[in-house]
Structures are given as structure tokens and as C-alpha cells.
Amino acid sequence: MSVAFTGAIGAAVDRVEGRAKVTGEAKYAYEYRQKEVAYVSIIQSTIARGAIRGVDAAPALELPGVHAVLWHGNAPRLHEVTDGELEVLQSHRVSYRGQIVAAVIADSYETARQAERLVRIEYAPEPHDVLLRGDHPRLYTPEKVNPNYPAVTEDGDFDAAFESAPVKVDCTYETPAEHNNPMEPHATLAAWNEDGGVTIYDSNQGVVNVKNTVARAFGLDPHHVRVISPHVGGGFGSKGTPRPHVILTIMAAQAVKRPVKLAVTRQQMFALTGYQTPTIQRMRLGADRDGRLVAICHDAIVQSSTVREFAEQAALPSRMMYAAPHRRTTHRLVRLDVPTPSWMRAPGETPGMYALESAMDELATASGIDPIELRVRNDPEVDPESGHRFSSRNLVACLRDGAERFGWADRDPRPATRRDGRWLVGTGVAASTYPARRQPSSARASYEPGAGYTIQIAAADIGTGARTALTQIAADALEVSLEQVEVQVGDSSFPEAFLAGGSMGNSSWGSAVIKACRELRARMAEEGSDVPLWVEAETREEVAAASAEPLAKHGFGAQFIEARVDIDTGEVRIPRALGVFAVGRIINPKTARSQFIGGMTMGIGMALHEESLIDLEFGDYLNHDLAGYHVPTNADIEDIEATWLEEDDPHVNPMGAKGIGEIGIVGTAAAVASAVHHATGLRVRDLPIRPDKLIVAFARCNR
Ligand code: MOS
């Protein structure tokens, strides 16, 4: 099925809520007002493993304005909780440093913070283990990796094929723990109602997920939980599932019988809102002398906590990127005394493509073949894993188009041969990919004579421009102008929809919006436009049918980086970054470009800046604020450009649009690392590429 687009889709429309955001009129979770609201302050464990022997709350309770101190001895019991991270204050056990072990509820935030210091907690510490090692004795193979893929895949005979391959790469790449740092930290305001239900204003990537998790945890009918989140200041995955503070806030409101609000601090986010696992990835590529891969093996090692298994799917992209008759991918995991890792923009693909694409660059060097040509030679006809055709795959076109724009043709492949004053100069390339999936969603479309059209859907606009894109999609489906359509999102009382995750938001929601709009038009054709009308539509059947198609659906891209490396200080600058993407139809070039360059910026951060350093003695992150945890800022990003190819893919959804929230970060770090190698001749195989690593390497080769 396709839509007769009338021109809203494809237009560079400004964000419909842009004015509300810049004037401060757009309300975020913590800004909602409630009468007699109380404030929660979190108390975090100071040990990484052990037990709580006792909590003395008496001095805190003496402070005027303090309503309660909650801890496992007096906290309400939760009903059904499947995520161990959400079993807040249910046990005397401590599973990681920074875990919530108590909370103060007071009239003001200041009083709550003051009282927090008066609560005495006695611990019985036990030795902890917080370090991921490739030879950890407790490594095991999980049953599945996130979200539901097999942990191990095997095709042919990798060992024999690799052994006899004339050109080999066998390298191990490491990525550190990384933390999501959206501009708006997590925040929740909870108010219990007289009918026994609860209303939550919350910063999240999906109100339905929050509603259902809260309902189960507190033993409520989901209809008695309302989650309101019209504006969200970023998430990147960290708000994809409700975090422990949501449970704590609702619990606190229950305990003190009044509305309660909680803003997670930036520092607390480093323990409580998830992070990307560190990875250790061994890549083995075996090729013919003409660069054709005969054997690919990707072995990924990641970590999880003792309270929940989260297994990042780092080896996933090596299953579908390149053709090779003999292939193996494995994941192993160790459960440590750490917070549970979780989603961070393109989990799996981001660390995995750093390793795979770095190894491809090393293979290009080893075989003396241009890195673009090497990828072209290994571009598969069909998905190597499933044998299915690709619904569309334009990686080669992206590489060729980018090469042209970037000026790749006259590149001298020799490393460490270009110098501009104190700067060594190099260029690098890498591929991007991300699956194009969708999930069932529903939407309501209504018409009011004289007022226009309203679309309601429990979707999330986490800053991506989703609300604007859905307005464009609805306008085209209704065949009316944008001004006649208002899209409302972020309320669990609206028809259920999938979360803003896995780059599936627009794809899932847009499908439901189009269906609802079409049905509304059909009703209006029958009943005229003099009466108010509304319809609700859901997409379960269409989505199931589409997933059953024997097609591999993925977006692709190519990233080009120029790096300049200071010969004395090891400082790396990125004067040029170019991304070329093939991701189906672009709904809104303005918001799409933001997603691409935002992802690429985060990828440059991954390559050069971002790293959460764990302190082995205390078992906690040393750098847990934006002073110690470096993300790229304006001065770090110079000429950055994203563009895209026309791609017609009728298989992904009625819009023909693949998700674009994550693909921009995929591959960037490998392109940077390859550009640094081209500039310096040095391969740094553990991210980030810090100046000190380059200085040490410079010294070693007497530069
Ligand atoms: Mo994204 S990591 O799927 O929110």
C-alpha cells in the first residue's frame, strides 16, 4: 500500500512545538505544579556489594519539614517486578555502589537534601568485583542477546577457512562504559488520586511502557495509571524503560499521602539510569588476495549486573554486513557488582560496527586494497544470515556518493605521510547500518467542523521532531494542509503506541496514523464534514504480515572523516565529517539532518571523548558529571554534513521511511579511528583515542 503524498512529507517543516520550547512554555516533567507537593531525595549506597545492617533515620526525622525516611524496613512492598533494578527498597542486599538504599521526603528539596545527610546507614560490606576482563572466570554465553537474538550464530567452518586464508586480520577492540547524557535528566512527579489510581508526569521514551510497568509493580489496573509526558529533553535509550526513581517516587507519594516529585541529578544518572556496557571484541577476518572475505568471526564480551541480565548484541552487525561463506558470531557475558547496563543509541550496532569496520580498515591496509573498494567487493547479494533479499540495500551507492563529495579519489593510501605544520593529516571511511523494524501501534484521528483534525497517539517526541513528522504524515494522509492538523503525543490515555526506541518510532506510529487518517477520510466521505467524527486504528495485522515477509530490512550509510593529529600533544581534531545515508524516504529534511549529525557528533564523542572510568576500590564511576565525562561540544565539531540518497522502499511501512534516530552514530568511531591511523600510522584499538595514548605511541616509535 502506498499513499498519495500531497507535499507535506519531504518538506523541511519547522518543529511544531519549537516556539513553545524556546519560550519556556513547553512543560517538562519536573515543572508541573501540584498542591502540597513534597520532594524526594535519594540516598545511594556507598558500598558496591554487601548488606545493610541498620538504618537510623531518627536525626533526619527531627528536622522540621521532613515527612518520612523510606528504606527497606518500612517501604511499601511491590507487587510484580521483573527488572531487578526496579525492586527499589525491597531488600537489605546491596548489589552496586550508588543503588537506592533510602530516600527522604520533605517539604522542600533543600530540606530533603539536608536530611539526607543525617540518615545513618550501617553496612556489612563484602568484596566486590566491578572489572570486565576478557579472561574473567565467570564469563558465560547468555541464552539471548538484546532484544531477542540468538547469542551465537555459525555458518560453514570458520576455523578451517580462517586458517587457510591468505590474508588475515586478528585484532581485539575495546570500548569503555559510556553514559547517556540527555539534556534533561530523568524526573518524575507522582500524584495518587482519590480513586486509588496514580498520575505520573515523567520524562520517558514511551508512556505505555511506564504505565504497564508501574501498574504491575503497584498491583494496579493499567487504566488506573496515567502517564503524561508531552515534552522530553532527550533520552538516547536511557528513558526507554522506567528507571528505579520512577518506582521510588510513586512509593514516596504513597507513603506520605501527597504528590511527590523527584529530579535525578546528573551525578545520580551515572548509577541509576543505565549505560552502555564496556566491550571487548575480537575480530577475525580472513580474505583472498583480492580482498574477498572467506571467513568472519566476531567474538564479543560484555558485562551485566547481578540484578538483571542485559546482554548487548555487539556482534550483531557482523551477521549481515558482508558476504563470506564461513561465519561465526558469539557473545559472552559476566555478571559484576555494577549497575545494569542498558540501551544507548544503537545498542549492538554502535560498539559492534566500531569493531567490524575497524577490522575492515585493517584488512584494507593488509591487502593493499582501497577501503571503499574492499567494502564494495564484499557487499552481499542477499542477507548472509537469513538468505533473504534486502528490501533495499544501497551501501555501495552511499560509499560512492560520499567518496565523490568528500574527494576520496586522489587519496594517498600510505599512512603518516601528510603533514601540515604540527598536524598529521588523514582520512577514514566506515559503513553505517541499522535495522528497519516496526511494532504495532494505534492512533485516533478526529475531525471537528470548523476546528480541523486532531491525531492522538501515545507516542513520544524526545526531541527528535517526531510530533512534527507525524503532523506531516497525517496531513498527507488526510490530504489537507499542515495547519489543519494537530498531533498530540505523550499521554497514556491516548491510543497505545510503541516507544521511541530502536529507531522504530516514526515507522510504527506513522503506519498507525496513516491508517487512522484514511479511515477518517472514508467516514467523512460517507457522513460529510458537518458532524464531528473520530476513528481509531491499530496496525497489528499489517505489522505481523510485514515481519513475515522473507526480506531483510536495514538502513545503510557511509561516513567519511578527516582527522588532524597534533604531533606533540596527541590532540585529535575533526575538521570534516560527512555522512551519506540510504534510509528510504525522508519525512522532514530539517529534523532528519539533526538526527544524522546528532548521531555523528555522538560517534565522534565515542571515538575521542566519552569514557566512564570505574574506580576499582570503591566500585563506582570516578567521572560522573559533565566536567569529568566529556561529550563533544561546539568547539569539537567543525564542518559536519549529512546527506542522503533517494531510496524507494515500499516494504518498510506505508511512508517508505526507515528509522533514522540511531544510524548516524553507527560507524563514526571506526571512521575516526581509521582516519587517525591514516594520519599517524598508529592504530588505537581501545576507545576513546585519548591524547595520552597517542603520545605514548608516538614516543614508542620515536616520532
Ligand atoms: Mo534507542 S537506544 O533504541 O532509545
pLDDT at 2 over 80: no
205 Cα: distance to centroid of ligand 1 (angstroms):
9
pLDDT at 55 over 60: yes
Q: What is the pLDDT of residue 5?
A: 58
Query: What CA–CA distance (Å, rounded) separates 95 from 179?
Result: 19
User: pLDDT tens for residues 568-582?
Assistant: 999 999 999 999 999
237 Cα: distance to centroid of ligand 1 (angstroms):
4
User: pLDDT tens for residues 457-477?
Assistant: 999 999 999 999 999 999 999
User: 343 CB less than 6 Å from ligand 1?
Assistant: yes
Query: What CA–CA distance (Å, rounded) separates 301 from 279?
Result: 6
Query: What CA–CA distance (Å, rounded) separates 82 from 200?
Result: 21
84 Cα: distance to centroid of ligand 1 (angstroms):
20
User: pLDDT tens for residues 670-702?
Assistant: 999 999 999 999 999 999 999 999 999 888 876
User: 599 CB less than 6 Å from ligand 1?
Assistant: no
699 Cα: distance to centroid of ligand 1 (angstroms):
40
Does residue 277 contact residue 312 with C-beta atoms inside 8 Å? yes
User: pLDDT tens for residues 368-380?
Assistant: 999 999 999 999 9
Q: Averaged over 404-422, what is the pLDDT? A: 97
- Atom index in ligand 1 nearest the CA of residue 239 equals 4
Higher pLDDT, 6 or 89: 89
Which position has the grid cell 574492499?
Answer: 374
Query: What CA–CA distance (Å, rounded) separates 219 from 81?
Result: 10
At position 133, the amino acid (one-letter code) is R
- Atom index in ligand 1 nearest the CA of residue 499 equals 4
Orientation angle between helical segments 505-527 and 540-548, nearest 10 degrees: 130
User: pLDDT tens for residues 185-226?
Assistant: 999 999 999 999 999 999 999 999 999 999 999 999 999 999
Protein residue whose Cα sits closest to atom 4 of ligand 1? 237
Query: What CA–CA distance (Å, rounded) separates 282 from 356?
Result: 9
User: pLDDT tens for residues 225-251?
Assistant: 999 999 999 999 999 999 999 999 999
At position 685, the amino acid (one-letter code) is R
Q: Averaged over 64-74, what is the pLDDT? A: 98
Antiparallel, parallel or unpaired: β 485-488 and 452-456 = parallel
- Atom index in ligand 1 nearest the CA of residue 462 equals 4
Q: Averaged over 83-97, what is the pLDDT? A: 98
User: 206 CB less than 6 Å from ligand 1?
Assistant: no
Q: What is the pLDDT of residue 6?
A: 67
User: pLDDT tens for residues 637-654?
Assistant: 999 999 999 999 999 999
User: pLDDT tens for residues 553-570?
Assistant: 999 999 999 999 999 999
Does residue 443 contact residue 477 with C-beta atoms inside 8 Å? no
Q: Which of 186, 276, 343 to mutate to test the pocket of ligand 1 (most atoms within 8 A of CB)?
A: 343
User: 501 CB less than 6 Å from ligand 1?
Assistant: yes
**DSSP state, 14?**
P
442 Cα: distance to centroid of ligand 1 (angstroms):
20
- Atom index in ligand 1 nearest the CA of residue 235 equals 4
Q: Which of 310, 662, 663 to mutate to test the pocket of ligand 1 (most atoms within 8 A of CB)?
A: 662
344 Cα: distance to centroid of ligand 1 (angstroms):
6
User: pLDDT tens for residues 352-364?
Assistant: 999 999 999 999 9
At position 112, the amino acid (one-letter code) is A
Mean pLDDT (the chain) is 97
Helix (H) or strand (E) holding 150: strand 149-150
User: 345 CB less than 6 Å from ligand 1?
Assistant: yes
Q: Cell for 257?
A: 499521602
343 Cα: distance to centroid of ligand 1 (angstroms):
6
Burial 164-182 (b: 16+ CB within 10 A, else e): ebebbbebbbbbbbbbbbb
User: 275 CB less than 6 Å from ligand 1?
Assistant: no
**DSSP state, 116?**
H
503 Cα: distance to centroid of ligand 1 (angstroms):
7
DSSP string, 469-507: HHHHHHHHHHTS-GGGEEEE-SBTTSPP---S-TT-HHH
Q: What is the pLDDT of residue 502?
A: 98
- Atom index in ligand 1 nearest the CA of residue 205 equals 4
- Atom index in ligand 1 nearest the CA of residue 501 equals 3
Query: What CA–CA distance (Å, rounded) separates 349 from 146?
Result: 11
Q: What is the pLDDT of residue 700?
A: 84
355 closest CA partner among 440, 431, 257: 431
- Atom index in ligand 1 nearest the CA of residue 661 equals 1
Which position has the grid cell 545513618?
Answer: 120
Question: For 694-702, which contacts have Cβ atoms below 8 Å and span 24 or more sequence positions?
Answer: 694/565, 694/570, 694/572, 695/569, 695/570, 698/567, 698/570
520 Cα: distance to centroid of ligand 1 (angstroms):
32
User: 347 CB less than 6 Å from ligand 1?
Assistant: yes
Query: What CA–CA distance (Å, rounded) separates 432 from 662?
Result: 10
% of the chain exceeding 90 in pLDDT: 98
Q: Which of 148, 239, 345, 499 to mutate to test the pocket of ligand 1 (most atoms within 8 A of CB)?
A: 345
Q: What is the pLDDT of residue 4?
A: 52
pTM: 0.97
Q: What is the pLDDT of residue 1?
A: 41
Task: Specify whether 662 is catalytic.
Answer: yes
Q: What is the largest CA-CA distance in the chain?
A: 82
User: pLDDT tens for residues 299-318?
Assistant: 999 999 999 999 999 999 99
User: 99 CB less than 6 Å from ligand 1?
Assistant: no
From 312, 538, 611, 662, the catalytic residue: 662
